[in-house]
Amino acid sequence: MKKIINEPLRFVDEFLEGILLAHPDLVKTPGDDPRILVRADAPVAGKVGIVTGGGSGHLPLFKGYVGKGLCDGVAIGNVFSSPSSAQVFEATKAVDGGAGVLYLYGNYGGDVFNFDLSVDLAELEGIPTRTVLGCDDVASQPKERAADRRGVAGIIFAFKAAGAAAERGDSLDEVAAVAQDIVENTATMGVGLTPTILPTTGKPSFELAEREMEIGIGIHGEPGIHRGELESADEIADHLLAPLMADLSLVAGDRVAVLVNGLGATPLEELYVLYRRVHQNLAAAGIEIAKNYVGEYATSLEMAGASISLLKLNDSRLELLNAAARSPFFIEA
């Protein structure tokens, strides 16, 4: 597999250096560790800080959502690997403006372990924290075990809403409640068409035949719920959308935000073909799309495929989604 890289072991540090060089007005590193990024004006006095983090390989996820109206800091690990508790703690200290810090990240074992250790470190420093886990992947657990689901692209909605709440001056408990409310009303399902290729090995992380697809696949290549012959775009959209509508108990008259997300190697044109079908199906069900996002928001290196996320909306959720925000990879005017 051909890749535009230098030394594979330097891949993460070099792309992070590129982000810092390209966007010095938006992000900075607060110390000597280039894997910790914070918004350029951090810490903001009196504002709740939001720290996220996880493995590399998902850009713009995690490191791309640091900025005004979004997250305040991020700690980054190697490709598909958790950042250390020390890195999370350094990000925490760098964004603490005196109002506490919310940890908002995906539900993966290594991340949970290291963020929880950072909670203890922050407590020793007198920094109050709260934790909300993104757990929107409906393929990974049934509804009755929703809290155990994997976190995937739908966490973007939580970044946006919690970031807006923090920006307007909400307390730590209030910002955490906003994030939890978004998580509980978000559902995502994805389809994979090709595997990822890890920079350090140059080999696929899993195998899919030439005309094969996998419904419900995770962003690290975790097994899905159906593997079979590649279907049409409309059939794929139908397979992904129906479980989301059922999971959120959507009925005629409801409003939603829709995210059609590319996993890294799927052309934007194909994502709009999916969105077309999603729009048709929701309209036929009497469900209004009040907000939409189409593009690459949470990727898996060069995996071909896509995911669809729905957020069930009310007035307050929509207001938070519409609030101004800016990061290297996200602008909401």
Domain range holding 102?
A: 10-185
Q: Are 19 and 63 in contact (CB under 8 A)?
A: yes
Catalytic residue among 58, 226, 239, 279: 58
Q: Are residues 289 and 170 in the same domain?
A: no
Among candidate residues 165, 185, 205, the one where a domain is terminated? 185
Q: What is the pLDDT of residue 197?
A: 87
* pLDDT tens figures, 124-179: 999 999 999 999 999 999 999 999 999 999 999 999 999 999 999 999 999 999 99
Q: What is the pLDDT of residue 206?
A: 84
Q: Kindly indicate the confidence band of residue 99, based on its pLDDT and cuts at 50, 70 and 90.
A: very high
* pLDDT tens figures, 197-215: 888 888 888 889 989 999 9
Q: Are 85 and 94 in contact (CB under 8 A)?
A: no
Q: What is the DSSP letter of 269?
A: H
How far is the C-alpha of 103 from the C-alpha of 285, rounded, in Å?
A: 36
Considering its fold, how many domains does the chain have in total? 2
Specify whether 226 is catalytic.
no
With respect to residue 3, please indicate whether it lies within any of the assigned structural domains. Answer: no
Q: Are 215 and 191 in contact (CB under 8 A)?
A: yes
Q: Are residues 270 and 257 in the same domain?
A: yes
* pLDDT tens figures, 3-17: 999 999 999 999 999
pTM of the shown model = 0.97
Q: What is the pLDDT of residue 177?
A: 98
Specify whether 239 is catalytic.
no
Query: Strand 330-332 to strand 325-327: parallel, antiparallel, or no bridges (unpaired)?
Result: antiparallel
CATH of the domain at 226: 3.30.1180.20
CATH of the domain at 25: 3.40.50.10440
Percent of the chain with pLDDT over 90: 93
How far is the C-alpha of 12 from the C-alpha of 87, rounded, in Å?
A: 15
Q: Kindly indicate the confidence band of residue 2, based on its pLDDT and cuts at 50, 70 and 90.
A: confident
Q: Are residues 231 and 123 in the same domain?
A: no
How far is the C-alpha of 179 from the C-alpha of 161, rounded, in Å?
A: 7
Q: Are residues 69 and 154 in the same domain?
A: yes
Catalytic residue among 23, 220, 239, 279: 220
Q: Are residues 150 and 217 in the same domain?
A: no
Among candidate residues 168, 185, 202, the one where a domain is terminated? 185
Nearest to 219 by CA among 104, 328, 106, 52: 106
Nearest to 58 by CA among 94, 21, 90, 83: 83
Q: Is 102 exposed, middle or buried (0-12, 13-18, 19+ CB in 10 A)?
A: buried
Among candidate residues 153, 185, 217, the one where a domain is terminated? 185
* pLDDT tens figures, 252-263: 999 999 999 999
Q: Kindly indicate the confidence band of residue 47, based on its pLDDT and cuts at 50, 70 and 90.
A: very high
Residues 6+ apart with CB under 8 A from 105: 52, 53, 54, 62, 111, 115, 133, 134, 151, 155
Q: What is the pLDDT of residue 241?
A: 98
Q: Are residues 57 and 167 in the same domain?
A: yes
Nearest to 90 by CA among 139, 143, 30: 30
Query: Strand 212-215 to strand 255-262: parallel, antiparallel, or no bridges (unpaired)?
Result: unpaired
Tokens read off for 133: 């886990």
With respect to residue 173, please indicate whether it lies within any of the assigned structural domains. Answer: yes
Q: Are residues 18 and 155 in the same domain?
A: yes
Mark out the alpha helices in the chain (DSSP H runs). 11-22, 85-95, 109-124, 155-167, 172-184, 233-247, 268-284, 315-321
pLDDT at 313 > cutoff 80: yes
Q: What is the pLDDT of residue 98?
A: 98
The helix/strand count (H/E) of the chain reads as 8, 14
Q: Angle at Cα 73 formed by Cα 263 and Cα 222, nearest 5°?
A: 30
Q: Are residues 130 and 240 in the same domain?
A: no
